[in-house]
Structure 1
Amino acid sequence: MTVPQGAALSVGAVLGTGVIALPALAAQAAGPASLIAWAVLVALSVPLASTFAALGARYPDSGGVATYARTAFGHRAAAVVGWSFYFAVPVGAPAAALFGGAYVAAAVGGGTRTALLTAAALMLTVTVGNLGGVRVSGRLQLGLAALLVALLLTATLTALPHASAANLHPFAPHGWWAIGPAAAVLVWGFAGWEAVTSLAADFRHPRRDLPRATAIALVVVAVLYLGIAAASILVLGPAAAAPGAGGSEAPLAELLAIGIAHVDHQQVRAIAAGAAVLLTLGAMNAYYAGAAKLGAALGRDGALPAWFGRGAAPGSVPRRSLLVVALLGAGSLALVAATGTGTRALVLLASGCFVLVYLVGSAAAIRLLPRGSLARRCAIVALLSAVGLLVLTGWYVLGTLVIAAGALLYARRGSAVEKAAETSADAVDSVAA
């Protein structure tokens, strides 16, 4: 995997569907003050991304954060981190796919049925794409990233001339404390810096290439996120946060409609739907690739059944692990369709898992990285940030704790089986003697 491909995977994992849905959700929570939450999370992305890039460069392994946790704290911590990331992907995948599906439904009609069918098609597409391995998914991601960056820049740059400072008033209509809930929602949009660490071993030169890819992704993500968020507030005004007013349903479409005056609204919706599909494919492609590789590593290391372990080696394709991710994701989507569960709950459940990954990964970095190094200082900031974000997750952190408990029970069972095997072997040796 090359540096541009790695950067594209990181951009897709972090930028993802957040840019088409989160500006409105954050504006609903805090109004124009949500821009502060955006700026804070962009700033916190620097130490988070730097921490995981440093770990990936030093310990390139398909286990990613689980490998760092095992090296620093042992197999139980690795199981907790590995399960938190692996099982968060099938929970978050339907939400991501439905964000894109909503744009398609807005363009072609059909409402919820169209959104669900589009979501299913997107999930199937990324599964098939990853069957070819990281080289195929990396090339796919590079093309998707180039297209979506061009489209997002077009939306921002053409809409900003229509900005009005009057849309910043009142700046904090729900009070300053509302910035916290806005930040909790935005965690979804900034999770992903850890996703590519599971693919670190697939870089040609991990120690050199992974930090370069991460640096490129940091710049691209910061510019696009802040640009879209600012344009949504300054250009759309109250409509950016008004449910059903267009802003919350398709803010990107609204920006394009304002910025490209000679294109009619239906064409704008079609363009926005195309952008939403690209963004969704990019995010899901990166997460499916990372999760599949991680699941294989967990099987290799005993944190999941050994059946998962095929495909953990660099360059190999973890088809069994990928199949499990795809089936669990399909089950989650079916549950959403049957119960009418909203995407907000799925976003917060997945975000809680990702924050726990950041928490343990940052703690492992503090223990593993050289004392006095810039990377270790970044890890300290990342750890403090993760603690704060975990608090903001609120009651949804209970889902994360359930997954962590399951990982600990499985790890304990594995240790008991291993200990019994060792005892049996010792007994055989004793009889032989």
Structure 2
Amino acid sequence: MDQQSAADGEDRKLRKELGLWSLMAAGVGSVIGSGWLFSSMYAAQTAGPAALIAWVIAGALMLMVALVFAELGMVRPESGGLVRYPLYSNGRLAASIVGWAMWLSYVANPPSEAAAVVQYASKWWHGVYSSSAGKLTTLGTCVAVALMIVFVIINYFGVKSFARSNNIVTAVKICIPIITVILLLASGFGANHKAGGLSHNISSHGFAPYGISAAFSAIASGGLIFAYTGFRNVIELSGEAANARRDIPRAMVVTIVFSIALYLCLQLGYLGSLPSSELAHATGWHGVNLDSPFADLAKMLGFTWLSWLLIADSSISPSGSGIVYTAANARNVFGLAKNGFFPRVVMKVSDKTGVPVVAMLVNFVLGAAMMVLLPSWHDIVEVLSALVAMTFSIGSVSLLVFRNVGLGGRAQRLRGMPIVAPLAFMVSSLVILWTAWDTLLKTLIPIVIGLVWFAVSFARGNRDPGDIGGGLWLVVYLVFTYGVAALGSYGGSGVIGSPWDSIIVAIGSLALYWWGVRAGTTYLKGHERLLMVLKDRAGDDTDILSKVDPTTT
């Protein structure tokens, strides 16, 4: 039995039991995790009030990316789809790079959520977090790993058990940030003896005290991309959706629109309600560093009950997201195993629960190791955001490749995507550039691993010349983008100043995007057997299948 046949057999064991509300809960439940508890403070640290610009840009990017994957999910709903689409459209070289990078970015989610729970718990459980070192202690790391075990246990009992628990958790935790927003906006609307006031805090230090470029840097370094990425779990679970083509776009758009509104309000609340004395003592936004940002802020404002409510929610919100990410990450590794990146045993789905248990355990082991190496929410998220921007951008290429070869009917196509897809790719490329160079360097590890894996596989005889042609553009794209970043103004050598580095990446990324689309179209048209299978799965009703030779590879 070949890899695709084995994958199809395991796919059929997955249970299509997720409805619209469960998919929306998976998306929104992931968004309301650790990101909302920390990102407003770290964004303000980096950019001051100009962080509002960063939230708008990041939100617009994530909305475009969500629309891209919404169409891909309608055309080809599949668990682990995010790592499967590059394989279908551009071959194994592109899939190797994207797959490894995406996997490591995914594995970092449950540790980041567990780290957030423990960091907020330090308000009442002393000894789990060191403020001076800015990271968890040995005890705190052990507690975080134990919490990750709980995430695995909940998911072990099947997708229906996961959905029920997540629906309940999401319904509870969605109320907390809304209450927080209302109270912070009310208290910080005007200056008083506690809150500094939005206009006062902005006027006293300036809207962009560190320059507009700092707002761009905040998109990755402040954890904004991380905060928005919950929508991707809707795609990862699409193979288990009862009505994927109807519910996936709705769930994703609702998730992103809700996220944009929530995070803008939270940022406004943080900027306005922070006491001016705290800003003066810290000598500006850079110096404000709270262990439990919103809980500490509530206490300063006299909302003691809200402070304790936030401490309680700091266990609920990240834990809910950790449960969702554990489920979605297992489907991601399941997809990588179907790609042939892992042994077949990794894509084994439990006959009893319909869950890829081995994949879930593999993620847990690597996530626990990451928790030990990076025992800090901010350290994990900073690296993760740059990886997410790169891996998400590739979906824009897959979308137009699928359209060019005739995958999906008119009902499965969203309006405006020929413009939205390349625009999403360009903005994703800019986010990579705007990441601090020392952080960007760390993201090279999974990219190199992907290249080495492909080279070894190719040398051992798994050779398809089409893989090189379909994926070479991605190698050139990464060399180009990282090269400009190394020479640019965002922590690079500064040889290319701002805004010229951004202009070069914007123009160059669009040119490379169209190369990627052409290369993918040529690749997929040259693999008629694969195209035949994809058209069949997409429900295509054209007569092209009758013209395809099924023996053609």
TM-score w.r.t. the length of structure 2 is 0.69
Correspondent of 2:355 among 304, 310, 317: 317
Q: State the Cα distance separating 1:59 from its structure 2 match.
A: 0.9
Aligned position for 1:251: 293
Aligned position for 1:158: 183
- Residue 27 in structure 1 maps to residue 27 in structure 2: no
**Structure 2 letter corresponding to 1:180:** F
Is the Cα contact below 8 Å between 1:15 and 1:225 reproduced in 2?
no
- Residue 128 in structure 1 maps to residue 135 in structure 2: no
Distance in structure 1 (CA, Å) of the matches to 2:162 and 2:450: 29
Q: State the Cα distance separating 1:255 from its structure 2 match.
A: 4.8
Query: Equivalences for 1:333-352 in 2 at 5 Å?
Result: 333-336=371-374, 342-352=376-386
Is the Cα contact below 8 Å between 1:159 and 1:258 reproduced in 2?
no
Identity among equivalent positions (%) equals: 26
Q: State the Cα distance separating 1:76 from its structure 2 match.
A: 2.3
Is the Cα contact below 8 Å between 1:300 and 1:310 reproduced in 2?
no
Correspondent of 1:182 among 214, 218, 224: 218
Q: State the Cα distance separating 1:171 from its structure 2 match.
A: 1.4
- Residue 222 in structure 1 maps to residue 260 in structure 2: yes
Higher relative contact order (CA 8 A, sep 6+): 1
Distance in structure 1 (CA, Å) of the matches to 2:69 and 2:44: 30
Distance in structure 2 (CA, Å) of the matches to 1:72 and 1:331: 33
Is the Cα contact below 8 Å between 1:303 and 1:411 reproduced in 2?
no
Going from structure 1 to structure 2, the CA distance change for 1:240 and 1:291 (only over 3 Å counts) comes to farther
Aligned position for 1:396: 439
SS at match of 1:65: helix
Distance in structure 2 (CA, Å) of the matches to 1:172 and 1:217: 29
Correspondent of 1:293 among 326, 331, 343: 331
Distance in structure 2 (CA, Å) of the matches to 1:296 and 1:319: 9
Aligned position for 1:119: 144
Deviation track 1:68-120 (CA, whole Å, cap 9, x = no partner) reads: 11121012222222221212233343333212211111133334246434422
Aligned position for 1:271: 309
- Stretch of structure 1 that moved more, 299-308 or 89-98: 89-98
Is the Cα contact below 8 Å between 2:102 and 2:387 reproduced in 1?
yes
Deviation track 1:326-368 (CA, whole Å, cap 9, x = no partner) reads: 111111222345xxxx443322221222112112122222322
Distance in structure 2 (CA, Å) of the matches to 1:197 and 1:155: 30
Deviation track 1:24-82 (CA, whole Å, cap 9, x = no partner) reads: 11111111111111122122222111111111111111231222111210122222222
Q: State the Cα distance separating 1:245 from its structure 2 match.
A: 8.5
Is the Cα contact below 8 Å between 2:64 and 2:421 reproduced in 1?
yes
SS at match of 1:71: helix
Q: State the Cα distance separating 1:317 from its structure 2 match.
A: 0.6
Aligned position for 1:171: 207
Deviation track 1:393-428 (CA, whole Å, cap 9, x = no partner) reads: 2333333332122223323433454549xxxxxxxx
Number of aligned pairs? 411
Aligned position for 2:246: 208
Deviation track 1:220-252 (CA, whole Å, cap 9, x = no partner) reads: 212211111110001115547959998632222
Going from structure 1 to structure 2, the CA distance change for 1:208 and 1:240 (only over 3 Å counts) comes to farther
TM-score w.r.t. the length of structure 1 is 0.87
Is the Cα contact below 8 Å between 2:46 and 2:215 reproduced in 1?
yes
* Bigger share in helix: 1
Is the Cα contact below 8 Å between 1:168 and 1:237 reproduced in 2?
no
Going from structure 1 to structure 2, the CA distance change for 1:54 and 1:270 (only over 3 Å counts) comes to same
- Residue 361 in structure 1 maps to residue 386 in structure 2: no
Is the Cα contact below 8 Å between 2:34 and 2:314 reproduced in 1?
yes
SS at match of 2:174: helix
Aligned position for 2:515: none
**Structure 1 letter corresponding to 2:326:** Y
Aligned position for 2:452: 409
Distance in structure 1 (CA, Å) of the matches to 2:430 and 2:362: 32
Q: State the Cα distance separating 1:380 from its structure 2 match.
A: 1.7
**Structure 1 letter corresponding to 2:64:** P
Is the Cα contact below 8 Å between 1:76 and 1:408 reproduced in 2?
yes
- Residue 77 in structure 1 maps to residue 94 in structure 2: yes
Distance in structure 1 (CA, Å) of the matches to 2:174 and 2:56: 20
Q: State the Cα distance separating 1:322 from its structure 2 match.
A: 0.4
SS at match of 2:236: helix
- Residue 147 in structure 1 maps to residue 172 in structure 2: yes
Deviation track 1:172-231 (CA, whole Å, cap 9, x = no partner) reads: 222222112212222222233333312111100111011111122123212211111110
Distance in structure 2 (CA, Å) of the matches to 1:74 and 1:175: 42
Q: State the Cα distance separating 1:148 from its structure 2 match.
A: 1.6
Going from structure 1 to structure 2, the CA distance change for 1:415 and 1:248 (only over 3 Å counts) comes to same
For structure 1, the residue ranges without an aligned partner over 5 or more in a row are 421-433
Task: Give the RMSD, CA atoms, in angstroms.
Answer: 2.7
Distance in structure 2 (CA, Å) of the matches to 1:153 and 1:389: 28
Is the Cα contact below 8 Å between 1:240 and 1:251 reproduced in 2?
no
**Structure 2 letter corresponding to 1:403:** P
